[in-house]
């Protein structure tokens, strides 16, 4: 009788877990916007790179409406002092996790536990590219001028500034072309690196999933709302 009760109890727990996982997956594949939301003047490129865990926003260093040289010291992003990157990649995430874990071999329980269960400090990860990276899943779409500028303002506003209104560089990145900067807001299980990416895309009126904590879900929904470019 005891074993029968335990079996029934465990089956209920297992069933509950399956329901929760199913709901999250449904939310990951459900778009926030339905129907036609096309834009006509789509001249500005926005890309998203999927590292498997993180998603990063990739945009041109400069175009005819915005120049990142006016906001960041491009030659000081990495240790290579390059000033002519064609693209910049922006990511946001947990400070300790982002700055100490560059691969699966670096994983440690304490850092992961803090990142998942506690509100923690955040950083911006900026990396320069001469061309779109070939070693990552990259998907590009186009948007109009107003929405593109909304995205750049969102990225700007994610940097924490010192008392002199300057960006706070915290350290070198994983490559000579990258660096970490202090960021606003805390990282938590409710606001992850991929949530930040999705927030930025929504500023540009780009569709995102209902549950946006997974990078693959963001990539799945990433489609241009343009009439001429897809």
Q: What is the pLDDT of residues 171-224, one digit of tens each?
A: 999 899 999 999 999 998 888 999 999 999 999 999 887 777 788 889 988 876
Would you say residue 143 has pLDDT above 60? yes
Q: State what percent of residues in the chain have pLDDT above 70.
A: 72
Would you say residue 25 has pLDDT above 70? no
Query: In whole angstroms, how far apart are CA 156 and each of 2, 27, 49, 63, 100?
Result: 60, 29, 19, 16, 24
Q: How many Å apart are CA 208 and CA 55, to the nearest integer?
A: 13
Centre a 10 Å sphere on the Cβ of residue 2 and count the other Cβ atoms it contains: 6
The reported pTM is 0.84
Which pLDDT does position 72 carry in this prediction? Answer: 96
Which pLDDT does position 38 carry in this prediction? Answer: 59
Range among 96-100, 165-169, 208-212 with highest mean pLDDT value:
165-169
Which pLDDT does position 81 carry in this prediction? Answer: 84
Would you say residue 162 has pLDDT above 90? yes
User: Can you say how many angstroms the Cα of residue 218 is from the centroid of all Cα atoms in its chain?
Assistant: 9
Report yes or no: 46 and 142 within 8 Å, Cβ to Cβ: yes
| pLDDT confidence bin for 86, thresholds 50/70/90 | very high
Which pLDDT does position 130 carry in this prediction? Answer: 96
Q: How many Å apart are CA 142 and CA 224, to the nearest integer?
A: 6
| pLDDT confidence bin for 230, thresholds 50/70/90 | very low
Would you say residue 44 has pLDDT above 80? yes
Would you say residue 93 has pLDDT above 70? yes
Which pLDDT does position 203 carry in this prediction? Answer: 94
- Is the sign of the CA dihedral 146, 221, 193, 32 positive or negative? positive
Which pLDDT does position 105 carry in this prediction? Answer: 53
For residue 93 the two structure tokens come to 């995430």
């Amino acid at each position: 009788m005891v074993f029968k009760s335990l079996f029934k109890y465990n089956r209920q727990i297992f069933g509950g877990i399956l329901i929760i996982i199913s709901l999250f997956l449904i939310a990951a594949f459900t778009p926030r916007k339905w129907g036609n939301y096309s834009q006509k003047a789509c001249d500005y490129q926005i890309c998203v790179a999927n590292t498997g865990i993180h998603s990063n926003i990739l945009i041109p260093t400069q175009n005819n409406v915005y120049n990142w040289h006016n906001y960041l010291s491009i030659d000081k992003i990495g240790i290579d002092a390059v000033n002519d990157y064609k693209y910049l990649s922006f990511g946001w995430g947990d400070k300790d996790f982002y700055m100490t874990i560059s691969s699966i071999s670096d994983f440690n329980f304490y850092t992961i536990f803090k990142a998942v269960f506690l509100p923690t400090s955040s950083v911006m990860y900026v990396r320069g590219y001469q061309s779109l990276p070939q070693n990552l899943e990259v998907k590009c779409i186009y948007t109009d001028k107003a929405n593109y500028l909304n995205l750049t303002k969102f990225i700007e506003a994610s940097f924490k500034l010192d008392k002199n209104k300057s960006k706070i560089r915290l350290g070198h990145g994983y490559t000579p072309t990258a660096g970490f900067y202090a960021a606003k807001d805390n990282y938590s299980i409710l606001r992850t690196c991929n949530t930040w990416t999705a927030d930025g895309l929504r500023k540009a009126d780009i569709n995102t999933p209902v549950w946006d904590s997974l990078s693959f879900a963001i990539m799945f929904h990433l489609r241009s709302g343009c009439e001429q470019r897809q």
